[in-house]
Structure 1
Amino acid sequence: MAMVLGNQKGNVSFYTDEHHMFRDSLRKFLEKEAVPNYEQWEEDRQVPRSFWTKMGENGFICPWVSEEYGGMNADFGFAAILSEELSRVGASLSTGIGTHSNIIVPYIASFASEENKKKFLPKCVSGEIITAVAMTEPGAGSDLASIRTTAVKDGDHYIINGQKTFISNGIQSDVIVLACKTDPNAKPAHRGISLILVERDTPGFSRGRKLNKVGMHAQDTAELIFEDARVPVTNLLGEEGQGFYYLMTKLQQERLVACINSLVAAEDMLQLTIDYVKQREAFGKPISKFQNTQFKIAEMATDIQIARTFVDDLIGKHMAGVDIVTEVSMGKWWITDMAKRVSVECMQLHGGYGYMEEYKIAKRYRDIPITSIFAGTNEIMKVIISKRLGL
């Protein structure tokens, strides 16, 4: 069923032979290096750095980065394929390596000084540097303007104080794109936000707890603590007070990636369930022969195919430089909600076995709920849509 497997052949107009070759090579690599080890990584609560560097050695991380910094100068189609194939293995990979490659490093490539691009980008591509972006605080999530972490100039350094939480790659990260207030008195408040690169060994910077999440167990998530942390002013990304605007420029791509990841999870859950119901028997026949099962599968397959058509259209438009903020906001809330519905129905069709960790559907079931919260909650997506419709 090619439809269920999704875009594995890249059968849309914007994918070229180079895209297909990249997908085939990446999929073979992941089947050898990731799939057999993924369950152990889940138990370890971390993907090892050695896997990051293997990904980098094979040219799979940040392929879009310019050749002068070690990348391939590839288009977003390669990033989309990376998201799909990592997601097909498991959510922890797409949220760790995928976020680094497709969401965080673009801030450095777009806004860092030439000196910092040369310093950081080659190692971001090779997997030697792991990145994180730190926006969320214990008292500030969707309302980014209310963050309280401050950066005060002291000669040629910033003195940073504050705390961040729910930070993906928080434990292993070497470079953090930190959202902070360089002008706490700015009116409106978002004009006081700046982005600063904080390096691993910065004095005054420490990690808090490694957070114990419901799902995405192999993806390290942590608290970050800044106590008079001293960071060179040269680590400022772009200009002071522009951080909020820089973050907004990248959210279209971040939410498109969220759509892709959730869609692939739904496609995978449906395929797992089709395979299961064909094999599992009850009352003397495969449960795939029961009309209720057939109707549930038909409904999910329809939703997933509609989502796939929509997402492929958004990928093509994004590659062409089209403003898709409204559509991607629609996609982000609807597809993540749809994937959550699919997880419930697929677990139900697995019966008691679906509740067992040895079955992949159980992992999908616990991994998917966060997708309606991160990258902007689904409620915020509806606010954005409403505003752009003139309401």
Structure 2
Amino acid sequence: MTEKLTLVQEQVRKFLAAELLPIVDQINEDGIFPEKVYRNFFKAGFGASFLPEEWGGDGDILGYLDIGAEIGRIDLGFALSVMASAVLFGKNVHLLGTDAQKKQYLPGIVDGSKIGCWALTDPTTGGSDAVGIQTFCEKKGGQYILNGAKTFITNAPVADYFIIISRMKGTEGKGIEGGCAFVVERGAAGMTLGKPLKKMGHRTSPTGEIFLENCAVPASALLGTEGRAFLDMKKSLDFERAAFSAIGIGAIDELLNIMIKYAAMRNVFGKPILEYQLIQEKIAQIGAEFDVMKAYTQVVRDKMVKGERMTKEAAIVKLLLSKLGLKAADEAIQILGGYGYMTEYRVERIYRDMRLYEIGGGTSEIQKLVIAKELAKEYMNRPGALI
């Protein structure tokens, strides 16, 4: 780790300790999005720092992953909203947008004055069947007409900017052909927002529905190339998986911190439970798997810096992290016993939050399909097969 990354992490820790940590338990209990903290976080330059300097960032991709881990130590919900705006919205506008779109939307995202979201999931098809979406667009004259609905959209209740993924009318059943993405602003005629959805976890991250009824947007709202949205999405998908996994790394690290320190101070039968082999086994297993997973994430980080394709590697990290995060939270609850089940300690909240990792951003089942597909391509091209 470079000195610069260490400095960035220290700055982020100080910010979060001063602004988020004192309120994190209460806002989770009340289900409140900490808007002021969010805006200050971006204003301080942390929220979208991975973007190039010309757009207000510092271009430091690895530093941004470490920032994500620091947020994950304190609150996965807040981290999710930060990433949804900066990565899902900001990264895609930077990759696919015209110069005019970048100038219009990126400054507000970077300084925190605006909040973005990414709307892919339809109520009928879910997020896994992206090409089967039932949100349609139709080109009429110099504009597009959007009709359909979106659900489980992070930041939807508070967003100013929405990337809406749709399919061109008449391209049903044509697979990856016909996808279109649009940047739609809050208050657009024909777009209405549903009530915030109540969730098991990530309660500080607002989630909602979007309804589109003859929502007319200008041709200039098209993001990327007409008909190629499903292909364009893949350009940022690996980075998105790596960024969201970084958040989980911070949470698992904090779980280990909690369970070890608790086990060291909790006395049963005359000695700390940390001295009992059954407890040591739990901690050792989580710690060993965590270190192996962190070592593998270095492969992803190296490929990211070199600009190399990392579809398989990013999917592996997300799959392993999703399972380990839930396992670590479960073991932490067991070690803390009754206290782990109480809201006084954060482990029950982390458990609820980590459950989303096996669903959101591509389910664990989808990650396995991606990994299997990549492995098949890799091994089918190798010589020396036995058949």
Equivalent residue runs for 1:203-222 within 5 Å = 203-222=189-208
Alignment of 1:379-390 (within 5 A): 379-390=365-376
Q: Which runs of 5+ in 1 are unaligned?
A: 1-10
**Amino acid of the residue matched to residue 200 of structure 1?**
R
Say which of 236, 257, 264 aligns to 1:250.
236
Mapped partners of 2:139, 2:336: distance in 1: 58
SS of residue matched to 1:240: strand
Letter of the aligned partner of 2:59 in structure 1?
Answer: A
Deviation at 1:186, TM superposition (A): 5.3
After alignment, is 140-149 or 60-69 more displaced? 60-69
**Residues 168-207 of structure 1, C-alpha deviations (whole Å, 9 max, x = no match):** 1111011011110124425523211111001001011111
Q: Counterpart in 2 of 1:333?
A: 319
CA contact (8 A) 2:88 2:117 kept: no
Aligned residues: 376
SS in 2 for 1:176: strand
- The one of 162, 185, 209 equivalent to 1:199 is 185
Q: CA deviation at 1:287?
A: 1.2
Superimposed CA distance per residue, residues 266-305 of structure 1 (whole angstroms, 9 cap, x where no aligned partner): 1111111011111112222211121100111111110111
Within-5 A mapping of 1:42-121 = 42-69=28-55, 71-121=56-106
The answer to whether the 8 Å contact 1:86/1:98 transfers is no
Match of 1:345 in 2: 331
Which residue is equivalent to 1:134? 119
* 2:162 aligned with 1:176: yes
| Matched AA of 2:32 | Q
State the match for 2:250 in structure 1: 264
Any idea what the Cα deviations from partners look like across 1:90-136, whole Å, max 9, x if unmatched?
10121111232233211111111211111111111010110110011
Residue 236 of structure 1 corresponds to 222
Give, in whole Å, the separation in 1 of the partners of 2:236 and 2:32.
26
* Moved >6 Å (runs of 4+): none
Counterpart CA distance in 1 for 2:221 and 2:17 is 38
The TM-score with structure 1 as length reference comes to: 0.92
Aligned to 1:356: 342
Is the 2:57–2:110 contact (alpha carbons within 8 Å) kept by the matching residues of 1?
A: no
Amino acid corresponding to residue 64 of structure 1 in structure 2? F
Identical amino acids, percent of aligned pairs: 29
Query: What is the one-letter code of the residue matched to 2:15?
Result: F
One-letter amino acid of the counterpart of residue 63, structure 1: S
Q: 1:277 aligns with which of 244, 263, 266?
A: 263
Of 342-351 and 258-267, the range deviating more from structure 2: 258-267
Query: Residue 289 of structure 2 aligns with which residue?
Result: 303
Contact residue 266 and residue 342 of structure 1 kept, 8 A: yes
Contact 2:197/2:207 (8 A) holds in 1: yes
What is the Cα-based RMSD across aligned positions, in Å? 1.5
Q: Is the deviation greater in 272-281 or in 253-262? A: 253-262
- What are the ranges of 5 or more consecutive residues in structure 2 without an aligned counterpart? 378-387
Q: How far apart, CA to CA, are the structure 2 residues paired with 1:270 and 1:291?
A: 16
Deviates more, 1:98-107 or 1:354-363: 98-107
Normalising to structure 2: TM-score of the pair?
0.93
Distance 2:197 2:173 in 1: 34
Q: Deviations over 1:29-58 (max 9, x none)?
A: 111011111122213423232222211221
Q: 1:323 aligns with which of 302, 309, 312?
A: 309
Secondary structure at 1:189's aligned position in 2?
A: coil
Q: 1:122 aligns with which of 107, 131, 146?
A: 107
